[in-house]
Amino acid sequence: MVMAAVGWTTADAQTLVLHFSDGTLLNIEMNTKFRMMNIGDRIFVTMPDGEQVEYSRDDIRMLTYEGVATGSGDVNGDGNVDVADIASVIDIMAGHQASQGSFTNCPNANHPHKIDLGLPSGTKWACCNVGALMPEAYGDMFAWGETRMRNEVYSWTTYTHCEGSYDTCHDLGMNIAKTAYDAATVNWHSPWRMPTFDQYRELYDNTTAVWTKQNGINGVKFTGKNGGSIFLPAAGIIWNDMVVESRGELGCYWSATIDQNYSYRAIYLYLSNSAPYKRLSYREIAYGQSVRAVAE
Ligand SMILES: [Zn+2]
């Protein structure tokens, strides 16, 4: 299941009003703790009394707070009306800019955060995997260029971007970052994107990697020269099966970059419990692997 979820308290903020296309309004009063989640184009809001409201993102016409209209529901201008827009409004209302700022370590439960590892390019890494609700959660597994986790066997027969075999792969380009094939961009929207090979290389060269446990989950912690760190759980891999294998033993993270010589392979980061715990390598693109996003 691919989903993004966020929880907020509108403390110190004004009432948030969501305006729907049928003319109805949803008022979220001051100091209300609520949770919002989107699955595909459906958005679910759970209020403190447990009442859940469900709607399509196409139904939101406008967001207002303190009587100020945002113009349309598309607050962040990415072409979609969804949880990310509401997060932007809440940030403005609450007087903080969590969605824009970066941190050296994941600061609270409003994931994903941009983590600053002091990298030369200024690239920020997400604190958690796409599909995960916390940093050590495994999140979803994706075949390369797919943007949803499939509840079926992962193989060349089922892979979306080929005709049933490794030698019939569709040309998705050399770099799928920020395209319709980017699982980070599609699920989390701009500025999130899959890391390129160069960005993984930069992470590889400018951080130390240690196999460790976070809240009981095995994985690799990358620490930058500025003390910033991210944890990548050993989420395993799916191949010729519906079941994820090697959970707790391997981490396999796709880059956005295809193998220049073999179009049925892409570059990925391999993590395991033997030093140096990290390796950049190639993997057949029909495998199900994790995606960790970056923001520029
Ligand atoms: Zn976080």
DSSP state of 122: -
User: Within this chain, do residues 145 and 283 fall inside the same structural domain, yes or no?
Assistant: yes
Does residue 128 share a domain with residue 270? yes
Please say which residue of 94, 117, 139 terminates a domain.
94
What's the pLDDT at 50?
A: 75
Question: 114 and 64, same structural domain?
Answer: no
Query: What spacing in Å lies between the alpha carbon of 115 and ligand 1's midpoint?
Result: 8
Q: Report CA(199)–ligand 1 centroid distance (Å).
A: 20
Predicted local confidence at residue 81, as pLDDT: 67
Co-location of 196 and 249 in the same domain: yes
Average pLDDT, the chain: 84
Can you give the CATH number for the domain in which 16 is found? 2.30.30.100
Residue 42 CA to ligand 1 center (angstroms) comes to: 23
Ligand 1 geometric centre to CA of 170 (Å): 35
178 Rama sector, left if φ>0, alpha if ψ -120 to 50, beta otherwise: left
143 & 61 share domain: no
H-state helical runs in 189-238: 197-206
What would the mean pLDDT of 153-178 be, rounded to a whole number? 97
Distance of CA 89 from the midpoint of ligand 1 (Å): 19
Quickly state the pLDDT bin for 124 (edges 50, 70, 90). Answer: very high
Mean pLDDT throughout 144-170? 96
Clarify whether residues 115 and 242 are in a common domain: yes
Same domain, 276 and 157: yes
Cβ 259 vs Cβ 267: under 8 Å: yes
Q: Which pLDDT belongs to residue 114? A: 94
Which tokens in the block code for residue 24? Answer: 């109805």
| CA 84 – ligand 1 centroid, Å | 15
pTM value is 0.69
pLDDT (0 to 100) of residue 20: 76
| Last residue within a domain, chosen from 72, 94, 116 | 94
CA of 2 to the centre of ligand 1 (A): 18
When divided into structural domains, the chain yields a total of 2
Per-residue pLDDT of 268-288, as tens digits, reads 999 999 999 999 999 999 999
pLDDT of res. 73 = 62
pLDDT at 31: 55
- Please report, rounded to a whole number, the percentage of residues in the chain having pLDDT higher than 70: 76
Predicted pLDDT at 10 = 44
Asked if 61 and 117 sit in the same domain, the reply is: no
Instruction: Classify residue 117 as exposed, middle or buried by CB count within 10 Å of its CB (0-12, 13-18, 19+).
Output: buried
Task: Give the end of a domain, one of 94, 128, 156.
Answer: 94
CA of 291 to the centre of ligand 1 (A): 15
Q: What's the N-to-C CA distance of the chain in angstroms?
A: 27
Examine the domain organization and report whether 169 and 256 are in the same domain.
yes
The whole-angstrom separation of Cα 271 and Cα 237 is 11
pLDDT of residue 274: 94
Q: 105 C-alpha vs ligand 1 centroid, how far in Å?
A: 8
Ligand 1 centre to CA of 108 (Å) is 6
Instruction: Tell me how far apart the 2 most distant CA atoms of the chain are, in Å.
Output: 60
3 state SS for the chain: CCCEEEEEECCCCCCEEEEECCCCEEEECCCCEEEEEEECCEEEEECCCCCEEEEEHHHEEEEEECCEECCCCCCCCCCCCCHHHHHHHHHHHHCCCCCCCEECCCCCCCCCCEEECCCCCCCEEEEEECCCCCCCCCCCCECCCCCCCCCCCCCCCCCCCCCCCHHHCCCCCCECCCCCCCHHHHHHCCCEECCCHHHHHHHHHHEEEEEEEECCEEEEEEEECCCCEEEEECCEEECCCCCCECCCCCEEEEEEEECCCCCCEEEEEEECCCCCCEEEEEEECCCEEECEEEEC
Rounded to the nearest whole angstrom, what is the distance from the C-alpha of residue 230 to the centroid of ligand 1?
A: 9
Residues 268 and 129 in one domain: yes
Residue 150 and residue 248 in one domain: yes
> Which domain covers residue 27, as residue numbers?
3-94
Confidence of residue 97 (pLDDT cuts 50, 70, 90): very low
Q: What SS3 state is found at 224?
A: strand
Claim to verify: residue 215 and residue 121 sit in the same structural domain: yes
